[in-house]
Structure formats: C-alpha cells, structure tokens
Amino acid sequence: MNSAHLCSICRSPLGKKMFQDFWGNRFCIDHQYYLDQCTSCGRLICEALTEGGFRYPDGLIMCSLCDRRGIFSVERAEILLKDMRYELKLNGLDLGEAEVPIRLVDRNELFRRSRRSSNEGHLLLGLTRGMLSSIKDKVVDKRFMEILIQRGLPDEQFKLVAIHELCHAWIFYRGIHHLSLKIEEGLCVLSEYLWLERQKMPEAEFWKQQLLENPDLIYGDGFRQALQCLQLMPLPRMMRYIEENKKFPGFLAKLLFV
C-alpha cells in the first residue's frame, strides 16, 4: 500500500476517521486523545513525528525538534531581544535608548507574577512588568521593571513572545496608560503578526494561522480589530490615535485624524 494511505504514527491503514495536522502529517484521529501536543509547533509528541519530546518540571511540553533550539541562557536571550527591538522599529515603534531588562523564568514564576490562572485560553509565555502609581487616573510615578520570558522556548518562538512583550514596553514608555486589555493585547499581537509577515520559516504560517483563528475575546478579537484598523492607517498613526482617544480608530478617523 502507498505510504500516503498509512498513519504517520502507527503505520496502520488510514480510514475515514483520520486527521491531518498543519505540517501535513496524517494519522488516526484517536492519537490526538492520548498523545501530548508540543507547546511550540503543535505536533503530537511521539517517536515517529517528533523523535519524542520532554515535559519540563515547570509543566512546559516540548517536542525534540523544538527543544534542540531552546533558549536557556540570558546572554543568548539578550542578543535575540536586541534583534527584536530592531524588528519592532521596523513595525514603526522605536524603543530608542529605553532600558528593557529581560529574565528567563519557569512557569511557576510566570504565573505567580501574572495574577492569572493557568486555565485561561491564552498560553502564558511572557510578561512585562512595570510599576505605575496613579491618583485619580493621573500617573504620579512610573518605573519600567522587566520582561519575563518562559525559559527553554525555541529561538523563533522566543522572538515571537519577545516582540509582543517589547510592544507592551513601548506602550509603557510612550506613556499610554489605562488602555483596555483588549486594545493593548490586540496591539501587541498585531506586532507579532507584522513580524511573522516578514518571516520565511515554516512556523511563521502556522503561528499566523493560530493568531487569526484564536477564539479568545481579548487576544483574538483585539488582534483582529487592530488588524482591520491597519487598513485605515499605519501602526504609528494608529498608536497616536489610540493615545488620544483610548479606542481603536473607526472609519471616520481615517478622514479626520491626520
């Protein structure tokens, strides 16, 4: 029998009940119920598809293909972060000389700092920390603290998380405070998307599709709204509009806001 008709995992003939993943692997539908999925590439973790994989003590699940490219050292993280500051600048958002320290952390610390529970729809892989004191909506003191990123992410995914967090940093340094979560996260996901559009690696298409189809009301809807606004005006102008109006520009803004 032609191998195209065999399951890529157990090699038994594929019936009607089969599944094809983003990477073109076709397998019996049942395998997805008991095999773990790689946090980064979404492949089912097994010998045949990914040469196995790892579950880190912090709960992160990574296939062997992705794990080989994992970022574990701060030195390497800092180099990649610098690349991503440049990429954010290509998106039209320049951090200039602003200081953005980075730390690689495990899941426990990430969750502890984020004040979010682990069962929310969005996968928590990075976090931006700043200190803001305000009295009656007026900011009286602020200090940018750091970016935290999950330790061990493969390089390309690290970059994706990094540009998202750098966009939060840009918004903070720019002094745009008290944005709704949907607008701020939507803009940061948009920065990820604009970077992905310039990338050639196969993961880029996979991640773009995930962003476009994300059902989350904040990260998914916020991003899709921001992407629509890009039809009206480029990102730096959109940022100025949001800074003044604390909302996404509508169609009229294109005519009135210069």
Residue 66 half-sphere exposure toward CB, CA atoms < 13 A: 26
Pick from 18, 25, 26, 28 the residue near Zn ion by CB under 5 A. 28
- Closest separation between CB of residue 28 and Zn ion, Å? 3
Torsion of CA 165, 168, 174, 180, to 10 degrees: 170
**Stretch of 40-48, 82-90, 105-113, 207-215 contacting Zn ion, by CB under 5 A:** 40-48
Q: Please tell me the distance from the alpha carbon of residue 196 to that of residue 193, in angstroms, as a whole number.
A: 5
Q: Does 253 bind Zn ion (CB under 5 A)?
A: no
- How many residues in the shown chain lie near Zn ion by CB under 5 A? 12
SS3 128: strand
**Stretch of 5-13, 16-24, 111-119, 238-246 contacting Zn ion, by CB under 5 A:** 5-13
Dihedral pair phi/psi, residue 83, rounded to 5° = -55, -40
Of 50 and 249, CB closest to Zn ion: 50
- Closest separation between CB of residue 127 and Zn ion, Å? 8
Q: Please tell me the distance from the alpha carbon of residue 63 to that of residue 47, in angstroms, as a whole number.
A: 10
Q: Does 196 bind Zn ion (CB under 5 A)?
A: no
Sites for Zn ion among residues 160-189 (CB under 5 A) = 185, 188
Q: Does 157 bind Zn ion (CB under 5 A)?
A: no
Q: Does 38 bind Zn ion (CB under 5 A)?
A: yes
Closest CA to 239 of 231, 229, 224: 229
Q: Please tell me the distance from the alpha carbon of residue 54 to that of residue 66, in angstroms, as a whole number.
A: 10
Q: Please tell me the distance from the alpha carbon of residue 15 to that of residue 56, in angstroms, as a whole number.
A: 35
- Closest separation between CB of residue 184 and Zn ion, Å? 7
Sites for Zn ion among residues 221-250 (CB under 5 A) = none
- Other CB atoms within 10 Å distance of the CB of residue 209: 13
Q: Does 63 bind Zn ion (CB under 5 A)?
A: yes
- Closest separation between CB of residue 255 and Zn ion, Å? 31
Q: Which residues lie near Zn ion (CB under 5 A)?
A: 7, 9-10, 27-28, 38, 40-41, 63, 66, 185, 188
